[in-house]
Amino acid sequence: MSRVELRVNGVATSREVDDRTLLVELLRGELGLTGTHVGCDTSQCGACTVKLDGAAVKSCTVLAAQASGGEVLTVEGLSTPQQLGEVPAAFVACHGLQCGFCTPGMMMAIDYYLDTDGSLDDERIHRALEGNICRCTGYVNIIEAVKHAARARAEAGKPVGRQ
Ligand code: FES
Ligand code: FES
C-alpha cells in the first residue's frame, strides 16, 4: 500500500491505495470523479485523458503512486457550477459530441493543445488529437470545437499556446 497525496481540481486529497492502483481508478473509484472514462485500459482510446502537472496523460497508464505530489485536472475541473469552461462550451456550441463517451478525454487533450499550441491549422489539431478515438462524430465538429475554444480563450484575454 502507498499513501498518495494529490491536488485534484484544486483540492488537496490524500488516500491509502494498493501499489497497483491506476490513476484513473483512484479518480473514479476513490474520488468519485466519473467524468474520466475508461474505454480500453490499454492506452489506445484516450477516453481517460487528464492533465497531470500541466501535461495531458492517459490516466490508465499512470499509477496513482506515480502521480503522488502532483496536480491533476480532470474534466470536472474545466468548468465551475456557474460557468462552462471554454472547451466544454465550444463542444455545446459546435455540437462536438454524440454519445459523449470520448468527450471528457477529448476535452482534456484539447485543453492541453490550447495551452501548448492553439493553432487553428487543421493538420496540427489532427496531430494533437491522434491519441483520442471517437466512434460517433467523424471528428468534424470536434475540430470546429477546438477552433471555437481557441478563439474564445484569446477573446477572453487568456494565453493560447506557450508564451
Ligand atoms: Fe486509457 Fe483507453 S482507457 S487510453
Ligand atoms: Fe461517441 Fe465520440 S461522441 S465516441
In a domain, 161, yes or no: no
- pLDDT at position 100 is 98
- pLDDT at position 41 is 86
- pLDDT at position 153 is 96
104 C-alpha vs ligand 2 centroid, how far in Å?
Answer: 10
- Crossing angle, helix 103-116 and helix 140-155, to 10 degrees? 50
**Alpha-carbon gap, residue 69 to 86, rounded angstroms:** 27
Average pLDDT over residues 37-66: 97
- Read off the CATH number of the domain in which 146 is found: 1.10.150.120
Confidence label for 119 from pLDDT (cuts 50, 70 and 90)? very high
Same domain, 64 and 98: no
Query: Which residue's CA lies nearest to atom 1 of ligand 2?
Result: 99
Query: Which residue's CA lies nearest to atom 2 of ligand 2?
Result: 134
Residues 34, 147, 141, 115: what is their CA dihedral angle, to the nearest 10 degrees?
Answer: -20
Last residue of a domain, one of 78, 100, 135: 78
Give the range of the structural domain holding residue 108, as residue numbers without chain letter. Answer: 86-155
Q: Whole-number mean pLDDT of the chain?
A: 97
In a domain, 160, yes or no: no
- Residue of 46, 144, 31, 42 whose CA lies nearest to 101: 46
Our count of domains for the chain comes to 2
Q: Report the percentage of the chain scoring pLDDT > 90.
A: 98
Given a cut of 60, whether residue 12 has pLDDT beyond it is yes
In a domain, 162, yes or no: no
- CB of 73 shorter than 6 A to ligand 1: no
- CB of 91 shorter than 6 A to ligand 2: no
Residues 55, 61, 65, 69: what is their CA dihedral angle, to the nearest 10 degrees?
Answer: 0
Given a cut of 60, whether residue 155 has pLDDT beyond it is yes
- pLDDT at position 47 is 98
Given a cut of 70, whether residue 163 has pLDDT beyond it is no
Given a cut of 90, whether residue 162 has pLDDT beyond it is no
Same domain, 71 and 101: no
Which ligand has the nearest atom to the CA of 95? 2
